[in-house]
């Protein structure tokens, strides 16, 4: 636990310096305040999430293994799933890793769209609740949102026999990149905007402007948004307005956790 806390603290310091420089040199919104409303809450998320991941991972593994166990039969041991199995598991680990990332982003695209439907929006709304977006906003996630995303993106990888070990090497890089595309940086990648998600691409996803609603769901490869008609990056413009249109979630952790269940409490009071 102590070693994990130290790694988390070191990464926090490194990214604070790195993204601080980028946000100062290439700001999407000039003079955006560093000590914004909610910065301490997101800092808490940064240190809370690694601890929560241990519990969330156990829950996610259980939810993933049960259908695999039922689909593939009892002859497949749990360690076989972790090591990889079948023809795909014979590929070099770097090829398995690339395949898992592309597949994971495709599934992640549709999972993200699902989070923007009525069924899951209340959980995902926590992530959109910040009215100022920077790199640290990336960690603002409701645990239920996190579990659903993990299960949906990991299940196809395991079902096809890919080794999770092949993906592990990419996890720190992917985590840092997810933080980067939330950063207050104006980069669009020009002609490469359709191939790799940029900060401008993802920040348009967080806008409350009507034109940007329901756009840019991919985490890494915007080509999925191009194919399915949800790509939006107007030339010469940067998103300015963020948050949740029409409703505000209080900026404290307890309110974030309870927000998806507020209607349950209201319904209970009505019933009583």
At residue 270 the predicted structure's pLDDT band, cuts being 50, 70 and 90, is: very low
pLDDT at 69: 56
pLDDT at 211 over 90: no
Q: Is the distance from CB of 181 to CB of 202 less than 8 angstroms?
A: yes
**In terms of Cα–Cα distance, which of 23, 203, 53 is closest to 128?**
203
Q: Is the distance from CB of 91 to CB of 145 less than 8 angstroms?
A: no
Task: Give, rounded to a whole angstrom, the gap between the first and last alpha carbons of the chain.
Answer: 44
Neighbours of 256 (CB within 10 A): 21
pLDDT 10s digits, 97-109: 888 889 889 999 9
pLDDT at 193: 95
User: Where do we find the tokens 């992640």?
Assistant: 108
Q: d(Cα 222, Cα 230) in Å, to the nearest integer?
A: 9
At residue 80 the predicted structure's pLDDT band, cuts being 50, 70 and 90, is: low
């Amino acid at each position: 636990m102590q070693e994990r806390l130290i790694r988390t603290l070191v990464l926090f310091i490194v990214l604070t310096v790195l993204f601080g420089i980028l946000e100062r040199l290439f700001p999407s919104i000039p003079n955006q305040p560093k000590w914004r409303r909610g910065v301490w809450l997101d800092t808490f998320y940064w240190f809370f999430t690694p601890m929560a991941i241990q519990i969330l991972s156990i829950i996610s593994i259980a939810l993933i293994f049960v259908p695999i166990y039922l689909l593939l039969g009892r002859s497949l041991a749990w360690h076989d799933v972790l090591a990889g199995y079948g023809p795909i598991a014979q590929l070099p680990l770097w090829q398995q890793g690339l395949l898992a990332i592309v597949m994971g982003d495709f599934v992640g695209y549709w999972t993200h769209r699902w989070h923007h439907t009525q069924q899951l929006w209340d959980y995902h709304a926590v992530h959109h609740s910040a009215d100022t977006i920077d790199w640290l906003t990336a960690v603002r996630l409701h645990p239920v949102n996190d579990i659903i995303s993990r299960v949906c993106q990991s299940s196809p990888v395991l079902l096809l026999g890919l080794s999770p070990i092949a993906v592990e090497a990419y996890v720190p890089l992917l985590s840092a990149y997810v933080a980067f595309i939330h950063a207050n940086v104006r980069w669009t990648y020009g002609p490469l905007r359709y191939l790799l998600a940029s900060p401008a691409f993802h920040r348009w996803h967080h806008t409350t402007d009507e034109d940007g609603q329901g756009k840019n769901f991919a985490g890494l490869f915007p080509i999925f948004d191009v194919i399915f008609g949800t790509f939006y990056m107007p030339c010469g413009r940067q998103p300015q307005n963020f948050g949740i249109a029409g409703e505000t979630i209080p900026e404290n952790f307890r309110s974030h956790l309870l927000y998806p269940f507020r209607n349950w409490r209201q319904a209970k009071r009505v019933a009583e």
